[in-house]
Amino acid sequence: MNRLSKKILSLLLSFLLIFLTACAPSSPRNQLVQAILSDPKTFNAVLSQESPNIFGLVYEGLITENPITGDKEPVLAESWTISDDKLSIIVTLKKDLKWSDGQPLTIDDVLFSYNQLYLNPNIPNNYRDSFKIGKSQTFPKITKVDDRRIEFRITEPFAPFLDNLGVPILPKHILEPTINKKGADGRLQFLSAWGVDTPPEKIIVNGAYKLKNYSTSQRIIFEQNPNYWKKDAQGNQLPHIQQIIWAIVESQETSLLQFRSGSLDSIGISPEYYSLLKKEDERGNFTIFNGGPAYGVNYLSFNLNQGSRKGKPLIDPIKAKWFNNVKFRQAIAYAIDRPRMINNIYRGLGEEQNSFMSIQSPFYDRTLKGYEYNPQKAKELLLEAGFKYNSNNQLVDSDNHLVRFNLITNAGNKTREAMGAQIQEDLSKIGIKVDFAPIAFNVLVDKLTNSLDWESHLLGFTGDNEPHAPNIMYVDGNLHTFNQLPQPGIPPVDGRIVYDWEKEIENLYIEGVRELDIEKRKVIYNKAQQVLSEYLPFIYLVNPYSLAAVRNCFDGLQFSALGGAFWNLEELKNTCGKS
């Protein structure tokens, strides 16, 4: 089939999709239908490294943060007490909690989840780094007090420790056998437990919903957990909405088509679609919410890892020399036209981001100047760093190697693809050739975490009000992607070099968590942001506004940039059906 035929077929399928969804029979009143761009990678909450994922629906922790007030609130916990010296937290579990299979959820499940899963050095996960306490980098001692109480004891004050009480609690009676046995490859069976091929009924949960069905590349269906603990003010069992459907779509365009045709109840809005949807909100019976700058960051990063694996350098030494030159990275930052990115890609619905901190976080340093668009300054820095221009105005290094590198991002995210295309164009103006290639998300993750075979990437991190991010900022963190230390089970790297500025950032983050006074913490994190801004392991780009369109069908909706539209999903009611 030639390209023209494929394009015609694609258009026909799009029109067929609109026709089918518009003419579909009314679906049940009591459900919520949303879309995600790719299939889940795992049903194991401990091992997950992706966002979005299913775990916010199916699991709860001891406490949570209210995204409207910022207050910590009990979930599985009934209450907690903090000792006067701030070194002990005793949590009391709610009574009569159950797992979705009807088995009791007890303090032993909590103890198991922390000590044998999250803190297990043989189980790589995104949570473990967050438990390292202060300068000593020791882990908390977690012990059972009695049948309903557990104590977390730390060696020094640790400001964000309550956030660690929000990790998902998992069932000991199901998963304990998997950490006591190893497979033929010598790895714990837990590392392959609860993959996406696991039958849904085998996934035992404690959240408002449980997994009902997963059809690859089609949909994920969740249903009410009949053993969920929470009730409304009238004593009725929650959640009110019986079923959640996540349609797995190939692109943002497809999800837009499905929302406009009425088959989706909500959609995150990319700025390029804002004006279109704004004209349709009344006819389409939906409301567009704007929560201001979204939590998280978008960034460009270079692979600074100078190590090798089995005698082969991870990065071509010629390119590694460029990437590890701080003036080269600063020049790249000056060469990216972020105002143009806001105006053209984000349609004015965003702000320049100069820091790793989320713009809405109280720790965001608004005094940082960042890197304004200045291609002339970029060229000056490159010349200072020993680069030069040939007769064709192409940038070459001191040995006349043409400066050219690969840039990857996740395919299907059209906004990010547009950002990459602009970066490619912007850098061509200073003589740099960028080979931009969006790739499948799972391939990208493998490159960043396993093979470490990449040159530059364009991605984002989610964020919140708390600045502590040890898995990113600590030199051995499992998301310290720009100079990654291989995690357990991954072939080692020889010759990795850690810079003094990397250690300085880590030390500032350690100092920041030891300080309980918020104003003093701000001073510490401001210094960390300044170091990050100077050395640019991440080149920060643009932060879009948090935009979502939601059908006018959900009572109790409270939108926030931090929690989105459905952070209190279990309390919402669907008051209208499909047509």
Kindly indicate the confidence band of residue 29, based on its pLDDT and cuts at 50, 70 and 90: low
Question: What is the pLDDT, as a whole number, of residue 553?
Answer: 94
Question: What is the pLDDT, as a whole number, of residue 26?
Answer: 34
* Averaged pLDDT for residues 252-277: 92
Measured CA distances, 389 to 175, 335, 422, 576 (Å)? 60, 16, 22, 64
42, pLDDT greater than 80: yes
216, pLDDT greater than 50: yes
Contact by Cβ (8 Å): 389, 334: no
* Averaged pLDDT for residues 490-515: 94
SS (H, E, C) 12-32: HHHHHHHHHHHHCCCCCCCEE
578, pLDDT greater than 70: no
Kindly indicate the confidence band of residue 37, based on its pLDDT and cuts at 50, 70 and 90: confident
Percent helix, strand and coil across the chain, each to the nearest 5: 30, 20, 45
Q: Are strands 209-215 and 141-146 parallel, antiparallel or unpaired?
A: unpaired
For 536, residues 6+ apart whose C-beta sits below 8 A from its C-beta are: 326, 329, 330, 332, 333
Q: What is the pLDDT of residues 398-416, one digit of tens each?
A: 999 999 999 999 998 888 9
Question: What is the pLDDT, as a whole number, of residue 2?
Answer: 40
Q: What is the pLDDT of residues 66-97, one digit of tens each?
A: 999 888 999 999 999 999 999 999 999 999 99
* Percent of residues, the chain, with pLDDT higher than 90: 79
463 against 209, higher pLDDT: 209
The full set of domains in the chain, from first to last, is 58-177 (3.90.76.10), 297-389+457-544 (3.10.105.10)
* Percent of residues, the chain, with pLDDT higher than 70: 94
17, pLDDT greater than 60: no
Round the average pLDDT of the chain to a whole number and report it: 91
Q: What is the pLDDT of residues 122-170, one digit of tens each?
A: 998 989 988 988 777 899 999 999 999 999 999 998 998 998 999 999 9
27, pLDDT greater than 50: no
Question: What is the pLDDT, as a whole number, of residue 516?
Answer: 85
